[in-house]
Structure 1
Amino acid sequence: MAETIRVRQTTRSRLGRRGIRCRPAAGAATANLRVNGVNGVNGTAYRWRLRRRPTYFQVLSWTPCTYAVEHADSPGTTLLVTTNQPHPSNWFGREAKPVLPSDVAEAIGRALHKGWTPTDSGSPFHLDRSVGFVPSP
């Protein structure tokens, strides 16, 4: 069963200035995306942050781009997502796809399916999506 959710960026965040808000679409003029079989995203707001200044290993394209996600209302366990793309600010000019709110919503759905509980305290939950990443020599 597929459900449609609306993605809206928020501005206040403990993780940074960008966030994601997911709720049922009500025919508004915002962009809609389709998420198949995601439970728990409907009506829940999440904040996410991509590091503006990459780490040294990300600058050299030795490690992929990562971003963090947390529950907006009651932050607990942070979700750390490793992508299969180099950081956009790498020094070698390797082509990098930007992290979009739809990518974040999909990662949240996968993490929730794998057992991430965003309101419980604890160690960060790692979601590795780096299959296919090729580091620079």
Structure 2
Amino acid sequence: MALAKKGARRIVVDGVAYRWRVTKQHWCCDFEGSTLGYAVEDAAHPATTLVVDTGRPTRHTPDAVPAHVVMPGEVAAGIRSARTEGWTPTANGSPFRLRLSAAGPPAA
């Protein structure tokens, strides 16, 4: 599953360049069950895509971060967390899935 270059943003984490874009994760059959996520791949040698579910709803709630916002710092923390859990972005394979809690991004 390669990311389309159009609409993808570049981020450098620990000296490695990646491309990422916001996605919607559909864990249920209705719109209410959708959560916000993002997909990441190595910019130079894309192979295994990281698919992150933030646990946040795609719809805005008054007491939460706007649903459509994923900040670069959150993406960097997610990449580091996935690397710690075994994601190897330059090795061929199925997408690596990482599910975060709705409480916020992993600690950097």
TM bucket (normalised to shorter chain) is 0.7 to 0.9
How many corresponding residue pairs?
98
Is residue 2:10 matched to residue 1:43? Answer: no
From 94, 97, 115, the equivalent of 2:61 is 94
Encode CA deviations 1:67-111: one digit per residue, 9 max, x unaligned. 110000010100000002111xx3xx4345210010000000000
- Across the aligned residues of Structure 1 and Structure 2, the Cα RMSD in angstroms comes to 2.8
CA distance in 2 between counterparts of 1:115 and 1:18 reads: 23
Q: Secondary structure at the match of 2:55?
A: coil
Instruction: Give the gaps of 5 or more residues in structure 2.
Output: 104-108
Instruction: Give the gaps of 5 or more residues in structure 1.
Output: 1-12, 23-40, 133-137
Q: CA deviation at 1:58?
A: 9.1
Higher-Rg member (1/2): 1
CA distance in 2 between counterparts of 1:15 and 1:116 reads: 21
Structure number with the higher strand fraction is 2
Encode CA deviations 1:45-76: one digit per residue, 9 max, x unaligned. 1100113x786x59833232121100000101
TM-score under structure 2 normalisation?
Answer: 0.73
Is residue 2:103 matched to residue 1:113? Answer: no
Q: Percent identity?
A: 39
- Preserved CA contact (<8 Å) 2:25 2:34: no
